[in-house]
A and B are shown apart, each in its own frame.
Chain A
Protein backbone atom coordinates (compact mmCIF):
# COMPACT_ATOMS: atom_id res chain seq x y z
CA UNK A 1 0.00 0.00 0.00
CA UNK A 2 2.77 2.48 0.85
CA UNK A 3 4.33 2.79 -2.60
CA UNK A 4 0.90 3.40 -4.04
CA UNK A 5 0.15 6.14 -1.56
CA UNK A 6 3.41 7.86 -2.37
CA UNK A 7 2.96 7.77 -6.10
CA UNK A 8 0.52 10.68 -6.46
CA UNK A 9 2.63 12.85 -4.16
CA UNK A 10 5.75 12.05 -6.15
CA UNK A 11 4.01 12.76 -9.42
CA UNK A 12 2.72 16.04 -8.06
CA UNK A 13 6.20 17.01 -6.89
CA UNK A 14 7.69 16.23 -10.29
CA UNK A 15 5.10 18.30 -12.05
CA UNK A 16 5.13 21.13 -9.56
CA UNK A 17 8.80 21.93 -9.28
CA UNK A 18 11.08 21.39 -12.25
CA UNK A 19 8.45 21.54 -14.96
CA UNK A 20 7.14 24.96 -13.94
CA UNK A 21 10.41 26.53 -12.88
CA UNK A 22 11.14 29.59 -14.94
CA UNK A 23 14.30 31.50 -15.74
CA UNK A 24 13.99 35.19 -15.10
CA UNK A 25 16.37 37.42 -17.03
CA UNK A 26 17.99 40.49 -15.54
CA UNK A 27 20.37 42.62 -17.59
CA UNK A 28 23.26 44.63 -16.17
CA UNK A 29 24.05 47.65 -18.30
CA UNK A 30 26.14 50.64 -17.20
CA UNK A 31 25.98 49.55 -13.57
CA UNK A 32 22.23 49.15 -13.41
CA UNK A 33 20.24 45.96 -12.75
CA UNK A 34 17.30 45.98 -15.14
CA UNK A 35 14.59 45.33 -14.20
CA UNK A 36 15.67 46.37 -10.74
CA UNK A 37 12.82 44.43 -9.17
CA UNK A 38 11.50 41.05 -10.30
CA UNK A 39 8.92 38.54 -9.09
CA UNK A 40 9.74 34.85 -8.94
CA UNK A 41 8.75 31.59 -7.30
CA UNK A 42 10.79 29.13 -5.27
CA UNK A 43 12.61 26.92 -7.78
CA UNK A 44 12.94 29.67 -10.39
CA UNK A 45 16.34 30.75 -11.64
CA UNK A 46 17.48 34.32 -11.93
CA UNK A 47 19.97 34.79 -14.75
CA UNK A 48 21.97 38.00 -14.98
CA UNK A 49 23.47 39.02 -18.30
CA UNK A 50 26.29 41.47 -17.76
CA UNK A 51 26.97 43.57 -20.85
CA UNK A 52 29.31 45.90 -18.97
CA UNK A 53 33.07 45.80 -19.37
CA UNK A 54 33.30 45.35 -15.60
CA UNK A 55 32.82 42.38 -13.32
CA UNK A 56 29.81 42.55 -11.01
CA UNK A 57 28.24 40.40 -8.34
CA UNK A 58 24.70 39.79 -7.18
CA UNK A 59 25.05 39.41 -3.45
CA UNK A 60 22.62 39.01 -0.59
CA UNK A 61 23.94 39.95 2.84
CA UNK A 62 24.27 36.67 4.71
CA UNK A 63 22.99 34.79 1.66
CA UNK A 64 24.01 33.89 -1.85
CA UNK A 65 26.81 35.55 -3.76
CA UNK A 66 26.93 35.23 -7.55
CA UNK A 67 29.95 36.34 -9.57
CA UNK A 68 29.01 37.85 -12.93
CA UNK A 69 32.16 38.46 -15.00
CA UNK A 70 32.35 41.21 -17.63
CA UNK A 71 30.45 40.36 -20.83
CA UNK A 72 29.21 37.18 -19.20
CA UNK A 73 26.37 35.63 -17.22
CA UNK A 74 25.68 34.43 -13.73
CA UNK A 75 22.71 32.67 -12.19
CA UNK A 76 21.13 31.55 -8.96
CA UNK A 77 18.23 29.20 -8.26
CA UNK A 78 15.90 30.51 -5.60
CA UNK A 79 15.37 28.06 -2.75
CA UNK A 80 13.51 30.13 -0.18
CA UNK A 81 10.39 32.26 -0.27
CA UNK A 82 10.40 35.89 0.78
CA UNK A 83 11.69 39.22 -0.44
CA UNK A 84 15.43 39.62 -0.95
CA UNK A 85 17.49 42.71 -1.57
CA UNK A 86 20.74 42.14 -3.39
CA UNK A 87 23.61 44.40 -4.40
CA UNK A 88 26.94 44.34 -6.20
CA UNK A 89 29.88 43.92 -3.83
CA UNK A 90 32.15 45.82 -6.20
CA UNK A 91 29.70 48.67 -6.77
CA UNK A 92 27.53 48.82 -3.65
CA UNK A 93 25.25 51.48 -5.10
CA UNK A 94 23.96 48.87 -7.59
CA UNK A 95 20.86 47.37 -6.04
CA UNK A 96 18.22 44.84 -7.00
CA UNK A 97 15.19 43.23 -5.44
CA UNK A 98 13.45 39.86 -5.85
CA UNK A 99 10.03 38.89 -4.52
CA UNK A 100 10.06 35.13 -4.12
CA UNK A 101 6.64 33.51 -3.83
CA UNK A 102 6.42 30.02 -2.23
Chain B
Protein backbone atom coordinates (compact mmCIF):
# COMPACT_ATOMS: atom_id res chain seq x y z
CA UNK B 1 0.00 0.00 0.00
CA UNK B 2 2.89 2.34 0.61
CA UNK B 3 3.93 2.16 -3.01
CA UNK B 4 0.60 3.43 -4.24
CA UNK B 5 1.06 7.17 -3.84
CA UNK B 6 4.46 7.02 -5.47
CA UNK B 7 3.22 4.92 -8.35
CA UNK B 8 0.21 7.16 -8.82
CA UNK B 9 2.35 10.27 -8.87
CA UNK B 10 4.81 8.71 -11.26
CA UNK B 11 1.96 7.77 -13.57
CA UNK B 12 0.46 11.24 -13.45
CA UNK B 13 3.78 12.92 -13.95
CA UNK B 14 4.35 10.66 -16.88
CA UNK B 15 1.12 11.90 -18.41
CA UNK B 16 2.34 15.42 -17.82
CA UNK B 17 5.74 14.73 -19.26
CA UNK B 18 4.57 12.78 -22.29
CA UNK B 19 3.42 15.65 -24.52
CA UNK B 20 6.59 17.53 -23.66
CA UNK B 21 8.72 14.67 -24.90
CA UNK B 22 7.83 15.75 -28.42
CA UNK B 23 10.54 17.99 -29.75
CA UNK B 24 7.95 20.13 -31.50
CA UNK B 25 6.32 20.96 -28.20
CA UNK B 26 9.23 22.30 -26.27
CA UNK B 27 7.98 24.51 -23.48
CA UNK B 28 8.54 28.23 -23.83
CA UNK B 29 10.30 30.27 -21.14
CA UNK B 30 7.03 31.56 -19.64
CA UNK B 31 5.80 27.95 -19.45
CA UNK B 32 9.08 26.70 -17.98
CA UNK B 33 8.91 29.40 -15.30
CA UNK B 34 5.36 28.31 -14.47
CA UNK B 35 6.30 24.61 -14.32
CA UNK B 36 9.29 25.27 -12.07
CA UNK B 37 7.32 27.52 -9.75
CA UNK B 38 4.43 25.04 -9.57
CA UNK B 39 6.80 22.17 -8.78
CA UNK B 40 8.30 24.19 -5.93
CA UNK B 41 4.92 25.17 -4.52
CA UNK B 42 3.83 21.53 -4.52
CA UNK B 43 6.78 20.51 -2.41
CA UNK B 44 6.19 23.39 0.02
CA UNK B 45 2.57 22.27 0.45
CA UNK B 46 3.67 18.67 1.09
CA UNK B 47 6.26 19.93 3.59
CA UNK B 48 3.64 21.97 5.47
CA UNK B 49 1.47 18.89 5.75
CA UNK B 50 4.40 16.85 7.09
CA UNK B 51 5.36 19.53 9.62
CA UNK B 52 1.77 19.52 10.87
CA UNK B 53 1.23 15.75 10.91
CA UNK B 54 4.53 14.05 11.66
CA UNK B 55 5.97 13.39 15.11
CA UNK B 56 9.26 12.12 13.71
CA UNK B 57 12.13 14.60 14.15
CA UNK B 58 13.96 13.48 11.00
CA UNK B 59 10.83 13.90 8.91
CA UNK B 60 9.99 17.29 10.41
CA UNK B 61 13.57 18.55 9.94
CA UNK B 62 13.57 17.32 6.35
CA UNK B 63 10.21 18.96 5.67
CA UNK B 64 11.47 22.26 7.13
CA UNK B 65 14.50 22.05 4.82
CA UNK B 66 12.18 21.54 1.85
CA UNK B 67 9.95 24.43 2.86
CA UNK B 68 12.94 26.77 3.35
CA UNK B 69 14.79 25.82 0.15
CA UNK B 70 11.82 25.72 -2.21
CA UNK B 71 10.58 29.05 -0.87
CA UNK B 72 14.06 30.53 -1.51
CA UNK B 73 14.19 29.16 -5.06
CA UNK B 74 10.65 30.28 -5.83
CA UNK B 75 11.37 33.77 -4.54
CA UNK B 76 14.38 33.88 -6.84
CA UNK B 77 12.20 32.68 -9.72
CA UNK B 78 9.61 35.38 -9.06
CA UNK B 79 12.29 38.05 -8.88
CA UNK B 80 13.69 36.83 -12.18
CA UNK B 81 10.40 36.76 -14.09
CA UNK B 82 9.67 40.25 -12.78
CA UNK B 83 13.08 41.44 -13.94
CA UNK B 84 12.67 39.79 -17.35
CA UNK B 85 9.07 41.03 -17.60
CA UNK B 86 7.92 37.50 -18.29
CA UNK B 87 4.47 36.39 -17.21
CA UNK B 88 4.53 32.72 -16.20
CA UNK B 89 2.09 30.86 -18.38
CA UNK B 90 -0.07 27.99 -17.18
CA UNK B 91 0.20 24.86 -19.30
CA UNK B 92 -0.67 21.16 -19.39
CA UNK B 93 2.44 20.08 -17.49
CA UNK B 94 1.77 22.53 -14.65
CA UNK B 95 -1.85 21.38 -14.57
CA UNK B 96 -0.88 17.70 -14.46
CA UNK B 97 1.62 18.41 -11.68
CA UNK B 98 -0.94 20.32 -9.63
CA UNK B 99 -3.60 17.65 -10.12
CA UNK B 100 -1.26 14.82 -9.13
CA UNK B 101 -0.09 16.77 -6.10
CA UNK B 102 -3.63 17.44 -4.92
CA UNK B 103 -4.41 13.74 -5.07
CA UNK B 104 -1.19 12.87 -3.31
CA UNK B 105 -1.92 15.33 -0.52
CA UNK B 106 -5.40 13.87 -0.09
CA UNK B 107 -3.87 10.39 0.28
CA UNK B 108 -1.23 11.56 2.73
CA UNK B 109 -3.82 13.44 4.78
CA UNK B 110 -5.56 10.14 5.56
CA UNK B 111 -2.43 8.44 6.88
CA UNK B 112 -1.12 8.68 10.44
CA UNK B 113 2.11 8.13 12.34
CA UNK B 114 4.75 5.90 10.82
CA UNK B 115 2.57 5.14 7.80
CA UNK B 116 2.38 8.85 7.00
CA UNK B 117 6.13 9.34 7.50
CA UNK B 118 6.98 6.47 5.19
CA UNK B 119 4.53 7.52 2.48
CA UNK B 120 5.63 11.16 2.67
CA UNK B 121 9.35 10.47 2.41
CA UNK B 122 8.97 7.86 -0.31
CA UNK B 123 6.91 10.30 -2.29
CA UNK B 124 9.58 12.97 -1.74
CA UNK B 125 12.21 10.63 -3.21
CA UNK B 126 10.04 9.84 -6.23
CA UNK B 127 8.92 13.44 -6.70
CA UNK B 128 12.42 14.89 -6.65
CA UNK B 129 13.58 12.19 -9.05
CA UNK B 130 10.82 13.17 -11.47
CA UNK B 131 11.48 16.88 -11.16
CA UNK B 132 15.24 16.45 -11.53
CA UNK B 133 14.77 14.33 -14.60
CA UNK B 134 12.37 16.88 -16.12
CA UNK B 135 14.84 19.69 -15.40
CA UNK B 136 17.75 17.80 -16.87
CA UNK B 137 16.16 16.43 -20.02
CA UNK B 138 13.55 19.02 -20.86
CA UNK B 139 13.35 22.27 -18.94
CA UNK B 140 17.04 23.24 -18.89
CA UNK B 141 17.65 22.32 -22.56
CA UNK B 142 14.48 24.18 -23.60
CA UNK B 143 15.13 27.40 -21.69
CA UNK B 144 16.29 30.17 -24.00
CA UNK B 145 17.00 32.95 -21.49
CA UNK B 146 20.45 32.51 -19.97
CA UNK B 147 19.42 33.70 -16.50
CA UNK B 148 16.42 31.37 -16.43
CA UNK B 149 18.63 28.49 -17.56
CA UNK B 150 21.16 29.30 -14.84
CA UNK B 151 18.46 29.42 -12.15
CA UNK B 152 17.13 26.06 -13.34
CA UNK B 153 20.64 24.63 -13.18
CA UNK B 154 21.03 25.90 -9.62
CA UNK B 155 17.62 24.40 -8.86
CA UNK B 156 18.72 21.06 -10.25
CA UNK B 157 21.78 21.03 -7.96
CA UNK B 158 19.58 21.87 -4.98
CA UNK B 159 16.93 19.28 -5.82
CA UNK B 160 19.50 16.56 -6.44
CA UNK B 161 20.66 17.27 -2.91
CA UNK B 162 17.05 16.98 -1.72
CA UNK B 163 16.70 13.67 -3.51
CA UNK B 164 19.78 12.28 -1.72
CA UNK B 165 18.61 13.73 1.58
CA UNK B 166 15.17 12.15 1.12
CA UNK B 167 16.76 8.80 0.28
CA UNK B 168 18.86 9.05 3.42
CA UNK B 169 15.84 9.81 5.61
CA UNK B 170 13.84 7.03 3.92
CA UNK B 171 16.69 4.62 4.68
CA UNK B 172 16.66 5.62 8.34
CA UNK B 173 12.97 4.85 8.69
CA UNK B 174 13.46 1.25 7.61
Interface residues, chain A, CB within 8 Å of chain B?
30-31, 52-55, 70, 89-94
A93 CB to closest chain B CB (Å) equals 5
Q: A30-B154, A54-B158, A55-B68 are in contact. Are A93 and B165 (CB under 8 A)?
A: yes
Q: Does B19 contact A (CB under 8 A)?
A: no
User: Do residues B73 and A91 form an inter-chain contact, with CB atoms below 8 A?
Assistant: no
The smallest C-beta distance from B161 to any residue of chain A, in angstroms, reads 5
Closest 5 CB pairs of A and B: A30-B157, A93-B164, A91-B161, A90-B65, A53-B76
Say yes or no: is B45 at the interface (Cβ < 8 Å to chain A). Answer: no
B75 contact set on A, CB distance < 8 A: 53
When distances are taken between beta carbons in the complex, the residues of chain A under 8 Å from B161 are 31, 91, 93-94
Please indicate the chain A residues that have their CB under 8 angstroms from the CB of B168 in the complex.
92-93
Q: With contacts defined as CB atoms under 8 Å apart, how many contacts are there between chain A and chain B in the complex?
A: 35
Complex alpha-carbon distance, A31 and B157, angstroms: 7
For the complex with contacts A30-B154, A53-B75, 20 further pairs of A-B residues with Cβ separation under 8 Å are A30-B157, A30-B158, A31-B161, A53-B73, A53-B76, A53-B154, A54-B69, A54-B72, A55-B68, A55-B72, A90-B65, A90-B68, A90-B69, A91-B65, A91-B161, A92-B165, A93-B161, A93-B164, A93-B165, A93-B168
Q: Which residues on the A side are within 8 Å of B65 (C-beta)?
A: 90-91
Are B165's CB and A53's CB within 8 A? no
Q: Which residues on B sit within 8 Å (CB–CB) of A52?
A: 154
Q: How distant is B93 from chain A, measured CB to nearest CB, in Å?
A: 24
